[in-house]
Homo-oligomer: A and B are copies of this chain.
């Protein structure tokens, strides 16, 4: 058993990057165990014993306890830090964006990226609803960012980290971010915050 945080993650997964970003911002020592979805390493008996849902990322704490779901892991690791606002309503807004990201954004942008960029499918073989849904998602973000530098409040929060994870790979999903200039500028800002 490691005496530091262990992250089981796939290096091509934005969901897994989120956990790494927070660990690095928080200066939490960790080891990374590469766990490939494409190689079905999330479907082995050993992995399913850690997470019956068969999804990465997961973390194991130094005492062996497991936690799954990227945004839940971020909230756990970042508790008490500036990445989560102290004000109850601002905190709730961050959490609101985290749920919106998983329900409405990841299921479109990340899924289209996976089929187009990693499975190398032709556009005609990809769910045709993903393109207009992705444009709507990016349009909503662009409107929100028109007068704001960060998603909630005046500084980086988990909302930005969750949302940038796949937005920054929008081109791999077939979305030219130049069409959503506030999003494009914000991606550059958050990447600078994350030292990318």
Contacts and interface: CB of A to CB of B under 8 A. Distances in A.
Interface residues of A, number: 32
Contacts of A104: 53
A2 B107 CA distance: 36
Contacts of A98: 72, 99
B95 A76 contact: yes
B69 A95 contact: yes
Interface in A56-84: 61, 65, 67-73, 75-76, 79
Contact of A96 (B68, B95, B107): B68
A170 B98 CA distance: 26
Interface stretch (A86-94, A115-123, A185-193): A86-94
Interface in A144-191: 144
A103 B102 contact: yes
Nearest to A70: B99
How many copies the complex holds: the figure is 2
A67 B93 contact: yes
In the A-B complex, the 9 residue pairs with the smallest Cβ-Cβ separation, listed nearest first, are A76-B92, A69-B99, A72-B96, A72-B95, A69-B96, A102-B103, A72-B99, A52-B140, A68-B96
28 contacts: A52-B143, A53-B100, A53-B104, A53-B140, A61-B89, A65-B89, A67-B92, A67-B93, A68-B100, A69-B99, A69-B100, A69-B103, A70-B99, A71-B95, A72-B92, A72-B95, A72-B98, A72-B99, A73-B96, A75-B95, A76-B88, A76-B89, A76-B91, A79-B88, A98-B99, A99-B99, A102-B102, A103-B103
Given A52-B144, A103-B103, 19 more contacts: A61-B89, A67-B89, A67-B92, A67-B93, A67-B96, A68-B100, A69-B96, A69-B99, A69-B100, A69-B103, A71-B95, A71-B99, A72-B95, A73-B92, A76-B92, A76-B95, A98-B99, A102-B103, A103-B107
